[in-house]
Structures are given as structure tokens and as C-alpha cells.
Structure 1
Amino acid sequence: MKFKGIIFDLDGTLVNSLEDISDAMNVVLTSLNHPTHTYDTYQYFIGSGLRNLVSKALPASNNTDEQIETCFESMVDEYRKICTLKTKPYEGIIGLLDNLVSQNIKLAVFSNKADELTKKITAEIFPDYFQNAVGLSTEALKKPNPFEALEISKGWNLKPEEILFVGDSDIDMQTAINANMFPVGVSWGYRTEKELIASGAKTVINIPLDLIEIL
């Protein structure tokens, strides 16, 4: 079957946003006199939305729902200021997107990052490449819930099985499977190839242009 559309995860797949996310959360932790974390540690906090990241970053003794919500709001305020300061596309991503556009492949972003921030980062870093950029608007629709991915496929008038779902985490692979899309893992993100295969990736690519071979 010819694939006609691709849905990409954002963080760890299209862009390396680790430092901006980590820096914003560490500002909040420092303001509360809590211990901060290294970039390597934050690598394993990313993937299930910023609220979940906040919960993981807070000390166990300060992890009530109320404290998480307060810190989440502060973290988003900080992150909004710097979300494209250090965040850059991975090497080869722009070339890949240019190639895909030339083939008239439909392109979308689906992230567990807040919808406002997903749209902001996608628009600033990747203007004119994506037909859709969808982030998290309500916890119930967070990946691996396939709802938003299926809505994108409906909007494109494509069957789910005509779409590649590309991401760097187990959450992305589970989303692809739940949506009946073809799960493609990327090895340059925040998780290992072993984790991606175990989570259902049909294949794992090592450089962006490898995606062209799958098409």
C-alpha cells in the first residue's frame, strides 16, 4: 500500500527540545527550593505531557494534585517564554520535510505537549510544512489515545492504514497501533531502539531520510 500521509510526534522526533523543557522546569524547582535535575534525567520525563513531567520532577514529599497543578502552571509560564530558545530541528529533518512536500505527502504534528505550545513551536520552526499541528487540549485525549490521530486521518480523507505514525517513544508506538497506523520509531530521540521495538515499532530509522525508503 502506498502511504499518503505522515503524523509526526514533536519532541524527540522533529525537534530536540530537551534543554528548553528542562531549563523551564528547573527554574520552577529552584524557586521552590526543590532539587533540580540534569538533562539526562529529564530525557526520561518527556513523552506523556508537561503535567506528567512536572509530577515526575517534583519531590515525592511535594506531589499532591494541588502542588502539581500549581507547578504545572508556573512551568508552562516559564516554558512559553523560552520554548524556541534552544529548541532546534534534528539534523536532516528539514531536508526530509522538503522531500515529502515535493511528493505531496500530507503532514501533521501530534504531540502530548500543550496545544498552544505545540502550535507555537511548529509554526515558528516549521512554517508552511504541516497541514495540522495538534497538541494536548484535555488529559482524556492524551496519547496513546488515538482520537486526534484519527481525526487527522478523517480530515485528510485517508484510511488510517495509509498513514505513517513517526515518533521516538513507547507512547507514540502505542498510539500508532491504537489508530491502526504504521508505527515508525526514530533512534535519535529520547528512547532506545530496544524500547521502541518492544512497544510495537514495525521499523526504527536512524536518520530522517530513511523514512523515504518506507514510503
Structure 2
Amino acid sequence: MVAVCVSYIDGSVPMAAFSTVIFDLDGTILNTLEDLAAAGNHTCEMHGWPTFAVDEYRYKVGNGMLKLVERFMPAEYAGDGRMFEQTLAEFRAYYGEHKEDHTAPYAGTIEMLDRLRAAGVQLAVLTNKDHVSAAPLIEKYFGSERFALVQGRVDAFPPKPEAPVTLHVMEELGANPATTLYVGDSNVDILTGHNAGLKSAGVSWGFRGRAELEAAGADYVVNTQTELAALILGE
């Protein structure tokens, strides 16, 4: 992993190695897997389709709801636009009602965010989750003050890892690419940062794990929220 050079303001307090940090949502700061799996399986059951174990959804999520629905629909419906739109609407309706049933922040996440904010680090969220779902989840579990900006999937931009939405977030934040870090739990997240010219850090506690993050070329991989805070703060 790349080492972070530590600078000091007064000889005792380290200057943050990164002044802006953009977080993925699902699998990074919120454990949403069980609710996503429940919504997917409920939708499958409505049609009499096969369902999947919760752990199988680790590899179905990450590219947004449209791709998630495509991945749990039976192959025989590939290219059936009418069935896809119906299934997507059913999934969104159920998930919208049940997205908070089991979802919770990963242990230590809120404390980490508060430590970073206290050190003057600007925080944001960029996720492939539909914005209409992402924004209320952030408000419920993290409040309105911790993140300077929350950006979910909207029709105006292609989803991550394409660069336009990340560059939009950077512009809105007034962030310097040289001191901005993108943090996530999957290969999509590592590419999201790199495609926008940013360093990318992978978190091994998420949906995919260390091997995928390293294979994707993560600049850093951390195992705990404490390690991530130390990386960001240059400690």
C-alpha cells in the first residue's frame, strides 16, 4: 500500500493527508445488505422466480438498482424491457418501504466521521443507490451535518465508476483532486476514484473483501474505521 507522508502544523498535531473524503454508501458506511436482499427476494417470490441467499447479493449490488434487478431476474427475461420495468418498479416500491428494517451503520463509523469532521476534513457521499433512497438513509442514520454533500444516482449522470458524477461532486465541493480520497468496498469504488484522478481506499469490512480491492488496484486497503481515520489524517 502507498504510504502517507505526515505533515505537522505545530509540531504535535498532524495535518490531514486528505482534506476531502468521498464515501460510497452501501457496504462502506451502511450495512444495507439484508434489506436489499429481502427486497430482491420478495420481488422474485412475486413472480415465482428463484431466490438467493443474502451473501449472494454481495455480488449483485454495487452498480445501482437497475443492475441489481437485472442480476436477480431470470436469464430468460434478458432483453424484455416491459418485464424489467415492472420488476424494477416492484423492487423500488418494496425497498422504499423496508429499507430501514435491518440497515445500520457499521460499528465505529459515526465516531470515525465525527473525528474527521473535528479535524476539518470535508466529507461527502457518492453512491449508485437511487438518490431518493440514499438521501433519507443518510439523514436517518447520520443526520444533516456530517456530510457536506450527498449524491445518489440520478438520470443526469451515468453511474459509477464513470467519471462525470464524481467530477460533479468534486466541483460542488470545491475539492482539490490531489487531496481528495474516494473510499468504498468494491472494485467499482476503486475505479470510481481512479477514473476521476483520485486516490482510492478500499474497506475490507464491506460486501466484497480485501482480495477484490487489491485486484482492482486500490491505493490503500484498511481493515477498521480507526485505520481509515489514521490514513486520512496522516497519522
Instruction: Normalising by structure 1, report the TM-score.
Output: 0.96
Look up the match of 1:56.
71
- Residue 93 (structure 2) aligns with: 77
CA drift at 1:148: 2.1
Judged with a 3 Å threshold, the aligned counterparts in structure 2 of structure 1 residues 62 and 114 are, in CA distance, closer, same or farther, namely same
- Find the counterpart in structure 2 of residue 17 from structure 1: 32
- Of 165, 169, 172, which residue of structure 1 is paired with 2:189? 172
2:108 to 78, 92, 112: 92
CA contact (8 A) 1:47 1:112 kept: yes
Give 1:153's match in structure 2, choosing from 170, 179, 182.
170
Which residue is equivalent to 2:227?
210
In the TM superposition, what whole-angstrom CA distance separates every residue of 1:69-115 from its partner, at most 9, and x where no partner exists? Answer: 21011100100001112100011101101101111211111000101
Question: Larger radius of gyration, structure 1 or 2?
Answer: 2
Q: Which residue of 1 aligns with 2:198?
A: 181
The corresponding residue for 1:120 is 136
SS of the equivalent of 2:201 reads strand
Deviates more, 1:137-146 or 1:7-16: 137-146
User: Residue 103 of structure 1 aligns with which residue?
Assistant: 119
Structure-2 residue corresponding to 1:4: 19
Cα deviation 1:146-199 (Å, max 9, x = unaligned): 222222222222211211100001000001001111100000111121211111
Instruction: Give the 4+ runs in structure 1 shifted more than 3 A.
Output: none
Does 2:52 align with 1:37?
A: yes
Q: Secondary structure at the match of 1:109?
A: strand
Q: Quick check: 1:7–1:149 contact (8 Å CA) kept in 2? A: no
Offset, 1:140: 4.7
Q: How far off is 1:213 after superposition?
A: 1.9
> SS of 2:49's equivalent?
coil
Decide whether the 8 Å contact of 1:51 with 1:69 is kept in 2: no
Does the aligned pair in 2 maintain the 1:150–1:160 contact within 8 Å?
no
The CA distance in 1 between the partners of 2:199 and 2:186, in whole Å, is 14
**Paired AA for residue 187 in structure 1:** S
SS of alignment partner, residue 26 of structure 2 = coil
Normalised to the residue count of structure 2, the TM-score between the two structures is 0.88
Specify the SS of the correspondent of 2:124. strand
Q: In structure 2, how many angstroms separate the alpha carbons of the residues matched to 1:139 and 1:150?
A: 13
Alpha carbon RMSD of aligned pairs, Å?
Answer: 1.3
Number of aligned residues? 215
**Stretches of structure 1 lacking an aligned partner (at least 5 in a row):** none
1:116 aligned partner, one-letter code = V
Identity rate, percent? 33
